[in-house]
Amino acid sequence: MSQTLNLAIVLDSDGSLPDGTVTGSELANNSVEGRHLVVGSLNTDQFAEGTANVFFTNSRARLAITVTGAGAYDNANGIVNIGGPNLNTNNVIEGSANLYFTNARSRSAISAFDSTIIYDSATGTIRANAAALRHWRWSQCNYC
């Protein structure tokens, strides 16, 4: 079913739009000439769908999605599965530049810069060296 809607808006003598809300039945009967369209009163039920510009539906959106590779898509419910329910770092290959976090990697990246700090890479503990601090002077600090 195709409908054509021809609107001829007639302005009042002062150049303003006339008052009034266009109803769905007026649209269906092409009888809105000289009326002010109140957009909030319109919805898609009052218009025929075109052939090129169609209304949005969940079904149309879901049919437009595709998944390539190892993933899967269920267009009945819109769920995209990107590798199964057990996707974690145990079954994803680690890259050469972006590595997984490990305690060992973190601990190997830390070092004490002088004798006032004691770092234990086995436990990750950082503490002040009280004996070294007793003899330390601000003038010795290269980082202060």
User: Over the stretch 65-78, which tens digit does the pLDDT of each residue have?
Assistant: 988 877 888 988 98
Per the structure, how many domains does the chain have? 3
Characterise 20 by phi-psi region: left (phi > 0), alpha (psi -120 to 50), beta (else).
left
Residues 11, 18: Cα–Cα separation, whole Å: 6
Averaged in consecutive runs of 10 residues, what is the pLDDT profile of the chain (144 residues)? Answer: 59 61 55 54 75 89 86 88 71 85 91 85 88 68 62
* Domain limits for position 82: 57-100
Predicted TM-score (pTM) of the model is: 0.34
Whether residue 143 lies inside any domain: the answer is no
Q: Are residues 49 and 74 in the same domain?
A: no
Query: How many helices and strands (H and E) does the chain possess?
Result: 4, 4
Q: Are residues 48 and 2 in the same domain?
A: yes
The widest CA-to-CA distance across the chain, in whole angstroms, is 97
